[in-house]
Amino acid sequence: MPTLTTLSHTPHEIARPSQEEAEAAVRTLIAWAGDDVLREGLIETPKRVVHAYREFFAGYDEDPKAILSKTFEEVEGYDEMVLLKNMRVESHCEHHMVPIIGVAHIAYIPDKRVVGISKLARLLDIYAKRLQTQETMTAQIADTLNEVLQPKGVAVVIDAAHQCMTTRGVHKTATTTVTSRLLGVFKEDPLTRQEFMTLVCSPAIGSINI
């Protein structure tokens, strides 16, 4: 009999079906769509889909707070904005399980601690690689960064296209959704907020020749 494993780092523990059960579910969906699950082109599809889903939803297996746990205090008094902009976002809508594709801009102003910049990208990916709404994902990234680093301020903006709107339903192919969460000085100080938006909207420097 297939065994169940437990999903961690979720609001409550979820029993995860076995790979065999997941593949059987994919075969059911293929049959429901009207195709023959035994024809040559589809024989291996359930296994491939399960493998892809393991990658798409890998964020359930990681603890976002743990990613930010290693911080640095020896920063020579640096207390200006740290901004990672134009980071690609690949997520999936929790309502239709279709892709959300866009870019994210994440900034914070340190108080006493900074974190390696790659950790901000990993934080983004952990929350993106889950079933999401863009609003929730934006808040989760900002709130986690604020809770762990306790900076002077956090700003997160995500601009993404939802295939539940572009490939089905209303078919608004050119539409993107923009969400933001501003905390601390980014919310309280108009000049800091304006600096963030100016930097986000400024053109890229371009490639650097070494």
Of 51, 95, 135, 188, catalytic:
95
Cross-strand pairs, 156: 106, 181
Of 9, 19, 90, 93, catalytic:
93
Catalytic site includes residue 162: yes
Of 94, 135, 147, 188, catalytic:
94
Catalytic site includes residue 96: yes
**Can you tell me the distance from the alpha carbon of 40 to that of 60, in angstroms, rounded to the nearest whole number?**
33
Q: How, if at all, do strands 82-93 and 99-109 pair? A: antiparallel
Catalytic site includes residue 93: yes
The torsion angles phi and psi of 151, rounded to 5 degrees, stand at -80, 180
**Can you tell me the distance from the alpha carbon of 42 to that of 48, in angstroms, rounded to the nearest whole number?**
10
Catalytic site includes residue 164: yes
Catalytic site includes residue 134: yes
Please answer whether residues 21 and 2 qualify as being in contact, where contact means their C-beta atoms are separated by less than 8 angstroms: yes
Of 9, 19, 90, 96, catalytic:
96
Of 9, 150, 163, 164, catalytic:
164
Active site (catalytic) residues: 93-96, 134, 162, 164
